[in-house]
Amino acid sequence: MAGVLLWVISPKENATALLSLIPRSGGKQKRSSSLCSRIKLSAKVSAFSSAVANPARSSEEKVYEVVLKQAALVKEQRKKKALDLDKAAENSDALTDWDLLNEAYDRCGEVCAEYAKTFYLGTLLMTPERRRAVWAIYVWCRRTDELVDGPNASHITPRALDRWEKRLDDLYEGRPYDMFDAALSDTVSKYPVDIQPFKDMIEGMRLDLRKSRYNTFDELYLYCYYVAGTVGLMSVPVMGIAPESKATTESVYNAALALGIANQLTNILRDVGEDARRGRIYLPQDELARAGLSDEDIFRGQVTDKWRSFMKDQIKRARMFFDEAEKGVSELNAASRWPVWASLLLYRQILDAIEANDYNNFTKRAYVGKAKKFASLPVAYGRALLGTSK
């Protein structure tokens, strides 16, 4: 993401007051005791970190374990049939600085409105509690992305990302550093959002500091999960699954993951020229070689028949992930579907724009014009009204 780095720190006294608003028991989620028995993978692992270190397993298998863990948390919550908001309300009665937390959420909403206008409009259809939580997650993801892709990216070191991860641990323990942290800390205390997707996104930022090539799509898939697929896993617990949905929790999470992967693949295909000027190539090296292409061809930036053929295959794969994502959007809570459908339809049109530019993503930036954006909104709203699959 481009834009100004969001480092707005609240005054010390405000941070102290905000800290008192976060339930201490909040961010820690218990893993379901039956989770391990439900993991249908050939290799048995106890944690995602150890899975990543095991080269015998594909990236998709590694990510699937995180999906299952988050799905288990949500299923546990759905059995309770509540977010325990009554207890949260009891705790809030004794608070004297609740307005500060409301202000923190409002600031998150302002950031979302400025940098993700269409998505922000969709969130206004959600319940107040859900949209505020989604804003808080969005802002944390944006700030994390800006660490390595913003105006101060040249000053970011691995140690800085370690400090950012420590802040994440602190806010999950109810110790926010600033207003934006406070909003997320409150969110994860109310919803069953596991910390692992957040940590994995930070790991994606670490990859950007040390890696500029990906040998295979398996490697690229893991990167796409880190920087974008994680967002879906963070958001579904907040957006909620429709009570009438017959889909499995795991399938809804797989669809959310697929949407993140599809969006990131679309970003990569749109930004080939821009990334190349920064010395980065986010395209599978082995697939480039099979197409008779090399890094030099990308740096040269000429649209050839080989390039067109290669891009057609890349776009086809991205659309397959969008197709997979569509299966889960209709299973979301009714009030949460519209912004997700709008995001999906708009991002999918970027692929159409690349084709319309004759696959010239070296010097032409594919984008969706305002007219098409507005035309997509009623379509997204119509799909949101269709309800869950039968």
For residue 103, count other CB atoms closer than 10 A to its CB: 17
Whether 58 has a pLDDT exceeding 80, the answer reads yes
Q: Quote the pLDDT of residue 17.
A: 41
Q: Quote the pLDDT of residue 78.
A: 56
Q: What percent of the chain has pLDDT over 70?
A: 78
Q: H helices within the chain, ranges in order?
A: 12-19, 35-38, 48-52, 59-80, 85-92, 98-115, 117-123, 128-149, 158-172, 179-190, 196-210, 217-224, 230-239, 249-270, 272-277, 285-290, 295-300, 305-329, 337-356, 370-385
For residue 76, count other CB atoms closer than 10 A to its CB: 17
Instruction: Indicate the burial class of 91 (C-beta count within 10 angstroms; 0-12, 13-18, 19 or more).
Output: middle
pLDDT in tens, 154-179: 888 999 999 999 999 999 999 999 99
pLDDT band of 388, cuts 50, 70, 90: low
Q: List Cα–Cα distances, 44 to 26, 55, 78, 199, 260, in angstroms.
A: 29, 13, 27, 22, 26
Question: What is the mean pLDDT of the segment spanning 40-54?
Answer: 38
User: Lowest mean pLDDT: which of 53-57, 166-170, 184-188?
Assistant: 53-57
Closest by CA to 73, choosing from 17, 9, 28, is 28
Whether 361 has a pLDDT exceeding 80, the answer reads yes
Residue with the larger pLDDT of the pair 321 and 33: 321
Whether 74 has a pLDDT exceeding 80, the answer reads no
Q: How is 20-67 classified by DSSP, letter by letter? A: TTS-TTSS--PPPTTHHHH---SS--SSHHHHHT-TTS-HHHHHHHHH
User: Which residues are within 8 A (CB) of 128 and not within 5 positions of it... i.e. 6 or more apart?
Assistant: none
- What pairs with residue 214 in β-bridges? 284
Whether 21 has a pLDDT exceeding 60, the answer reads no
Question: What is the mean pLDDT of the segment spanning 308-333?
Answer: 96
DSSP, collapsed to helix, strand or coil, labels residue 279 as coil
Most confident of 47-51, 52-56, 65-69, 76-80: 65-69
Residue with the larger pLDDT of the pair 78 and 221: 221
Residue with the larger pLDDT of the pair 10 and 308: 308
Q: List Cα–Cα distances, 113 to 71, 158, 310, 342, 371, in angstroms.
A: 29, 30, 36, 15, 19
Q: Quote the pLDDT of residue 389.
A: 62
- Give CATH 1.10.600.10 domain extents, the chain: 37-44+56-83+211-390
Question: What is the mean pLDDT of the segment spanning 320-334?
Answer: 94
DSSP, collapsed to helix, strand or coil, labels residue 284 as strand
Cα angle 156, 148, 5; round to 5: 90
Q: What type of residue sits at position 11?
A: P
The structure tokens listed for 340 are 């997700």
CA–CA distance, 318 with 336 (Å, rounded to integer)? 24
The structure tokens listed for 307 are 């390039």
For residue 346, count other CB atoms closer than 10 A to its CB: 17
The structure tokens listed for 338 are 């519209």
Q: What percent of the chain has pLDDT over 90?
A: 61
Question: What is the mean pLDDT of the segment spanning 304-327?
Answer: 97
Q: Quote the pLDDT of residue 56.
A: 59
Cα angle 42, 43, 48; round to 5: 125
Whether 131 has a pLDDT exceeding 60, the answer reads yes
CA–CA distance, 190 with 101 (Å, rounded to integer)? 14
pLDDT band of 377, cuts 50, 70, 90: confident
pTM score, whole prediction: 0.80
CATH of 37-44+56-83+211-390, one of 1.10.3720.10, 3.20.20.140, 1.10.600.10, 3.20.20.10: 1.10.600.10
Q: Quote the pLDDT of residue 374.
A: 83
CA–CA distance, 106 with 117 (Å, rounded to integer)? 15
